[in-house]
Amino acid sequence: RYELLKSIQKEDVVPDVVEDIPEDITEVPEVIAMTSVELYGMIMAGGNGLFLFDCRSKDDFRASHIVFENCLNIPESAIMSGMSAGKISSLLSPADVAVWDTRGQYECIVLMDWSTAGVVPVRNTPLWIMMDIMQNYDPNVQYKRLTILNGGYEDFLLRFPMQTTNSRAKPPVSVTKDENSLEEIEYPNIEDIAMKTSFEVHPSFDRSTKAAALVTYEQKEKLTHDIQRQQEHLAEKVLTVEKERFNAEKVWEELHAKELLSAEQEKREQELLYNIMQYENQHKDIMAENERLKQQLSEIEAGVEETIAARIRDKDRERQLLQEKREQMEAEREEKLRVAREQKKLLENKENHAPVFNRSNKPQNIIFPQRGLDNFNFVPDTVERGLTGLQNLGNSCYMNSIIQCLGNTSSLIDYVLSDCYRKHINPKGNTKGRIIEELAAVLKALWAGRYRFFSPLTLKQTIGAVYGMFRGTEQQDAHEFLTILIDLLHNDLQTISTPRNLHENLPKSESAWLAFTKSRESAILRLFYGQIKSTVKCKMCGKESATYESFSNLSLELPATNARCSIENCFDMYFNGENISGWNCPTCQQSRDAVKKLDISKLPPILVIHFKRFSAGETSQYHKKQNFVNFPLMNLNLERYIARSQKNSPKIYNLYGISNHYGTMDRGHYTAFCRNSQIGKWFKFDDQQVSPMESGDVQSSAAYILFYTFLPLDAVKNSF
């Protein structure tokens, strides 16, 4: 659907953004590297206005560095793509921060590593990333001269050992690798390719380590007691959920029985329906967990404690009585809602609305809404920064959920709060920077700490002016909204050019990346976009052919059944090899059977994972998959899925945001669970309601979109 909309936009409305970018916008200046002789001469002359940033490891710097007062070590381990100057500062010691903060006072800044030679560092190395951060993501400092030391510290050490703290230091031994050759052959042996298999439900009970391995009666008795206590806790938890659900149904019935509702009562009625959907999901997840515990208990083959079992039965009986009453009320509610939906459908058919996109009526210009703080309708209150809610504008929970997840993306927040984005706005683009301007206004309000909630109306109207599907009050898909929003933000900020001397002798993956970006990048691209390598290997001759495709999120399939699974299962279904037939092998010069395999060739600092919960059945009717997916909150390791040429990339991700979907295709609601970097705890964002939650409740079968990062989960700062 999104690709179709993009094609419509390109044909009818949206001009090619990149062609409209003037050549002088955020053009990266040609860097004239400084030689060791020049640097030594400046130091001997007193070094006035000179500052050195040594980007080697801490151990290497301590072992040997240039004898010069204005020399600061920025460890290579602290330099990662997607970071800002503010993030660099947060990783330094207090003493080093004081020195770092004076960097804008110097006439010349020299960056160095061990051995980089030439005018521009190799792309994606710590030295290149550090220079990129200082050129593009350090808004409070205007550098007069920013350069690198040609040949690095190794060259300086060889020429002027007397000007170093240890002339006997040796550079680390590096094994020279031809990245092009690494890319050329991804899998030397076809047997090395892990193949896709049909998903099978395996018991979560591990016989090798748990109950089956217990031999003594005391061990079995203790495990039985622990499992029963967990069951009792679940029985109490599901009883509480059932009571809350029953009360919500009761209040909804009372409201719905009234012939005329006030606007406030209608709003309350909708909130109750949203709460009921979430109670349904919680009930299902708790009961599924209880079944898992029952399975474990049956494997132990030991007697249960009757006292605990009796308490569990009492709670179950109370819950079942409530459930029977509630199910009767629920059936009546569903019938009333069905009738209401049919009446609404008849009314819409009579009105005969025209489609949003009409090819016979091609708009020439996008008409944006007027800007102004009046549209925010702020509800004042003193809250912790980042804990402000968003008003539901009529089925706009899909947008609110995504905005809250983006609002807890620390690197994006730093970029926005510091106004660094302003220097990158593309004034000639289709949207003229309005999308990032409106999003920035919303994010700044979320982090002001002065509002309980407010209305993001202008942002919604601005996005709706470009994509008409978001203009009205119809429910939309959060994943589709996120994909479109990231694309619009990238186009708004796509003004960072790639130096022309970096275009030669590139690996295939980098050439594909430059073709995708058209040599113009953005902060959004560098945060959210990655790259997939698709390898096809001939079964007859072993010839490999590779193509590359960029992504802003990974859409993972779920098992066909509603079975419980892990995120690793989903990754395997996506990345593992599959047999294909009829591939035209360039070596064999004929059609052959082959194996196709996907790998990640570029890891984004922010990894967005989307579970494909909505799928079409045999009747082409869409239905929702209710799988409970186990995913880690910390230490998601992607090493198994990375291409050989990228094995040195960061591989460990931590979760900070989830967009949840409750309900069905016809009737649903979105919320967000986010980790606030200021407090270091998880919170639930349900439109205008924000409430604390336990990290143990973050996982649920409602999880729809996950937000991971390999960047430090430190507190948001006011500026870079």
The CATH number of whichever domain residue 482 belongs to comes to: 3.90.70.10
The parent domain of residue 687 ranges over: 506-709
Claim to verify: residue 534 and residue 641 sit in the same structural domain: yes
Would you say residue 218 lies in a domain? no
**Domain end: 115, 132, 163, which one?**
163
For 499-527, b/e burial (b = at least 16 CB within 10 A) is eeebeeeebbbbebbbeebebbbbbbbbb
Is the Cβ–Cβ distance between 489 and 402 less than 8 Å?
no
Q: Which amino acid, residue 658?
A: I
User: How many whole angstroms from its chain centre is CA 69?
Assistant: 41
**Domain end: 306, 335, 364, which one?**
335
Domain at 116, CATH number: 3.40.250.10
d(CA 156, CA 39): 9
| pLDDT number for residue 14 | 37
Indicate the burial class of 329 (C-beta count within 10 angstroms; 0-12, 13-18, 19 or more): middle
Q: Which two tokens stand for residue 113?
A: 């590593």
| pLDDT number for residue 25 | 46
Q: Phi and psi at residue 477, in whole multiples of 5°?
A: -85, 130
Claim to verify: residue 312 and residue 399 sit in the same structural domain: no
Catalytic residues: 397, 669
Would you say residue 189 lies in a domain? no
Would you say residue 340 lies in a domain? no
| pLDDT number for residue 338 | 75
Nearest CA to 84 out of 28, 136, 143 is that of 136
How many structural domains does the chain have?
4
Is the Cβ–Cβ distance between 269 and 255 less than 8 Å?
yes
Q: Which two tokens stand for residue 255?
A: 């409201």
Claim to verify: residue 528 and residue 611 sit in the same structural domain: yes
| pLDDT number for residue 373 | 62
Global pTM?
A: 0.85
Claim to verify: residue 470 and residue 512 sit in the same structural domain: no
Q: How many CB atoms lie within 10 A of CB 600?
A: 22
| pLDDT number for residue 19 | 38
Claim to verify: residue 521 and residue 478 sit in the same structural domain: no
Low-confidence ranges of the chain (pLDDT < 50): 8-30, 176-177, 179-180, 182, 203-212, 214, 352-364, 718-720
Claim to verify: residue 560 and residue 456 sit in the same structural domain: no
Would you say residue 177 lies in a domain? no
d(CA 118, CA 129): 16
* Strand (E) or helix (H) holding 447: none
Would you say residue 341 lies in a domain? no
Claim to verify: residue 152 and residue 284 sit in the same structural domain: no
**Domain end: 488, 520, 543, which one?**
488
Claim to verify: residue 158 and residue 64 sit in the same structural domain: yes
d(CA 94, CA 705): 37
Claim to verify: residue 613 and residue 658 sit in the same structural domain: yes
Is the Cβ–Cβ distance between 255 and 333 less than 8 Å?
no
d(CA 590, CA 601): 29
d(CA 86, CA 100): 10
Claim to verify: residue 601 and residue 639 sit in the same structural domain: yes
d(CA 428, CA 358): 25
Claim to verify: residue 636 and residue 535 sit in the same structural domain: yes
Would you say residue 365 lies in a domain? no
Claim to verify: residue 519 and residue 459 sit in the same structural domain: no
Would you say residue 370 lies in a domain? no
d(CA 527, CA 486): 10
Would you say residue 188 lies in a domain? no
